[in-house]
Amino acid sequence: KWYESKEVTSVREKNFQIWRHGDRTPAKTFKSDPYQEDAWSLGWGQLTPIGMEQMMELGDLLYKEYVVKNKFLNTSYKFNEMYVRTTDVNRTYISAYSNLIGMYYNRTQSIPNVNFPNNTRWPGLFVPFPVHATVDYAHDYVGNPRAYCPRREWLWSKTKETPEFRKLEKENDQFMKELTTVTGDNITLDRFWYLRDTLYIERLYNKTQRIIDETAYQRIDEIMDLLVDYGNGLDLTPVDNINFRVEVPKVRGGSILWAIIDNFDLKLFCYEQANQDKPQCNWMKHLRYYAYSAHDTTLLALMSTLGVKHTLLQHGHPDYSACLSFELWQTDNGPALRVSYEFI
């Protein structure tokens, strides 16, 4: 499905894609959970075969949109035309490779001894393409909204002083104590995310030994929805003159937004004939497609920064393999962007 901003017609110059990885195993669980890591054959936090297939489907959708329909990208890989970056996490790496397989694997334009070796052990018409991780996850200020930042941590401490957060805390104090008893973990609103995450995935995989019933799970889900919004600065009353709607997105989604803006600014600079021989344009003048393999938190932070989170998601998280696409166009009235939201 596609949600698009206003249609723009003219010459497309560059695309910037950012997607969430595909289906994965839980990242961790609580002490009393009957499904510990050995219940998941791939281990904690790994992309599953379902997730690989989801990313292949997204890749196929992107191929049909940008190669077949619009003839914007080449019918086979051109290494100076595309750049794919990922956070330094297994599931986002493998999601990126799965996406590229969906785009270009087994296309008839792949030729033995031209695009790949003519060897019986080589997998089909597979052409490998580089995927880059430029920094470790803890310091990835583009792909990881929770990367270390003193101001972000300070803003979170101020968030907990808002009437909305205090109301949520007060209304669920007894529930947190009950969850602590049931799970064997110290459950607080600060340490809540993994509980909902794990229970959600266990339900997807029909894990039937459930020590938390459906009523409690629905309440956990509702609390997590509010925490996601509060964590991104949404729906909060100002405290000490802090406009959370402005300040929190700066430190969570601001970096990815500026990465997109900087990419497009440089592309426009290199579009000018007089600049094309400048060093910074040697790479950029050919680049047409930049993709970032990331996380639901990355997309949520970016949506909140753009002010569209509640428009695109009434509650919850972006689906596995959901993708935001930013397209730079040259029009008669100057540069323009088309923004699309895709999910499988």
**Contact partners, residue 91, CB within 8 Å, separation at least 6:** 21, 22, 24, 45, 46, 47, 51
Chain-centre distance for alpha carbon 78? 25
Per-residue pLDDT 10s for the chain (344 aa) are 444 455 545 567 889 999 999 999 999 999 999 999 999 999 999 999 999 999 999 999 999 999 999 999 999 888 999 999 999 999 999 999 999 999 999 886 788 898 889 999 998 888 999 999 999 999 999 999 999 999 999 999 999 999 999 999 999 999 999 999 999 999 999 989 999 999 999 999 999 998 999 999 999 999 999 999 999 999 999 999 999 999 999 999 999 999 999 999 999 999 899 999 999 999 999 999 999 999 999 999 999 999 999 999 977 899 999 999 999 998 888 889 999 998 87
Query: Distance (Å, rounded) from C-alpha 105 to C-alpha 214?
Result: 42
Domain extent listing, the chain: 11-147+248-342, 150-243
Q: For residues 198 and 33, is the Cβ–Cβ distance under 8 A?
A: yes
Question: Which member of 23, 33, 229, 296 is catalytic?
Answer: 296
Q: Between the CA of residue 165 and those of 195, 234, 235, 246, 251, what are the distances in Å?
A: 19, 11, 10, 18, 19
pLDDT of amino acid 142:
96
What is the CATH number that goes with domain 11-147+248-342? Answer: 3.40.50.1240
**For residues 26, 132, 62 and 76, what is the CA-based torsion angle, rounded to 10 degrees?**
-140
Residue 88 known to be catalytic: no
Question: Which member of 21, 229, 295, 319 is catalytic?
Answer: 21
Query: Distance (Å, rounded) from C-alpha 113 to C-alpha 134?
Result: 30
**For residues 53, 58, 61 and 67, what is the CA-based torsion angle, rounded to 10 degrees?**
-110
**Contact partners, residue 55, CB within 8 Å, separation at least 6:** 19, 21, 22, 47, 95, 96, 98, 99, 102, 321
Residue 296 known to be catalytic: yes
Task: Record the pTM.
Answer: 0.93
